[in-house]
Amino acid sequence: VGAGADAGGHAGGQLLGGVSAFQRHTAPVVRDELARLAREGQRPGQLFLTCADSRLVTSMITSSGPGDLFTVRNVGNLVPPPGTDGSCDSVGAAIEYAVEVLKVSSITVCGHSGCGAMQALLDSSAPARGPSQPGASTRRERTPLERWLRHGRPAMARMERISRLGRGEVALSSRTVADDAERLALVNVRQQLDHLMEHACVARRVAEGGLALHGMYFHVAEAQAYVLDAGSGRFLPIRPDHGPPVPVCLATAAPAQAGSGDSGITERGGDPLQGAFEPRR
């Protein structure tokens, strides 16, 4: 048996041990609630779209439990615009189901620090180092990861455009942005909110006033969540000693000039994000 098999066995043992601990300690506590949800069906109030990164534990940072969040996770918390191609239907299907069937009242896009997808986008845009080898083929089939990350290119273009034009950019209100990877993660949240608004069901529900869109950023090392204020473009820290910061990113449909790259999300005052991540009981 090789080293890889030993590592796989260890990981499998950890997983099995964790499930066993759940059956011993947690299952007796949550069984009644899960039985109720099984009888009545799910009625989450929110769609939470975030990265697949293992360090981002959605139930932990939102203090949510079974039935509270309809969660979509993928590499880079990306929202492909509708009609891009059939291979991206999974995210679109989840959005449609959450909005049209579950009738969620809010959608949150949550990015995070140290995102490998953001770093891969930055690396892919960097100039190639050194001369290419004579006769070397420049054509090869792209990997699934490379194909998926093309949906992050609009965020890259947006960040480059902001820098080139010298216009205001997204920022953290409590400190300076650490580096380009963090800056891109913040820009990406705003860009994916724009992509959400390209989905007809989302735009319609937002225009009707029945759906709010939120942007969040979670810094792993700080264990700090930030919420986007769409008016200023700043991400404001959520503090333990008070409710969510006001104003917050509550989305309404707003006309955006085609090709402008500006968000179709505008601030709607008077309705704070109070209770948005409290468990529904």
How confident is the model at residue 10, as a pLDDT? 77
Cα–Cα distance measured from residue 105 to residue 47, given in angstroms and rounded to the nearest whole number:
8
The least confident of 43-47, 67-71, 224-228, 236-240 is 236-240
Assign 112 to helix, strand or coil: strand
The domain that holds 88 is classified in CATH as 3.40.1050.10
**Confidence band (pLDDT; 50, 70, 90) for 103?**
very high
- Count Cα atoms within 13 angstroms, Cβ side, for 42: 17
84 domain-assigned: yes
Contact 248, 214 (CB under 8 A): yes
Query: SS3 breakdown of the chain: % helix, strand, coil, rounded to 5?
Result: 40, 15, 40
Residue span of the structural domain in which 210 resides: 45-126+142-267
- Please provide residue 53's backbone torsions phi and psi, each rounded to the nearest 5 degrees: -50, 130
Q: Residue 6 domain-assigned?
A: no
Helical spans, DSSP H, in 153-199? 153-165, 180-197
Q: Is residue 16 part of a domain?
A: no
> How would residue 166 be classed by pLDDT, with cut points 50, 70 and 90?
low
pLDDT band at 52, cuts 50/70/90? very high
> Residue 46: what are its φ and ψ, rounded to 5°?
-140, 145
Q: What is the mean pLDDT of residues 80-88?
A: 81
The total number of structural domains that make up the chain = 1
Higher pLDDT, 171 or 254: 171
Domain membership of residue 22 (yes or no) is: no
In a domain, residue 239? The reply is yes
Q: Is residue 263 part of a domain?
A: yes
Residue 137 maps to a domain:
no
Query: Is the per-residue pLDDT at 213 higher than 80?
Result: yes
Residue 177 zone, left/alpha/beta (φ > 0; ψ -120 to 50; rest):
beta
Are 105 and 212 in contact, with CB atoms under 8 Å apart?
yes
Angle in degrees, 0-180, between the axes of helices 200-208 and 89-96, rounded to the nearest 10: 30
Instruction: Report if residue 23 sits inside a domain.
Output: no
Higher pLDDT residue, 157 or 8?
157
Q: Provide the strand spans (E) within 96-185.
A: 106-112, 171-172
Is the pLDDT confidence value at 132 over 90? no
Give every CB contact of residue 12 below 8 A, 6+ residues apart in sequence: none
**Given a cut of 80, is residue 17 above it in pLDDT?**
yes
What is the pLDDT confidence band of residue 150, given thresholds at 50, 70 and 90? Answer: very high
Q: Residue 133 has what pLDDT?
A: 53
Nearest to 231 by CA among 249, 244, 206, 255: 249
pLDDT of residue 61: 94
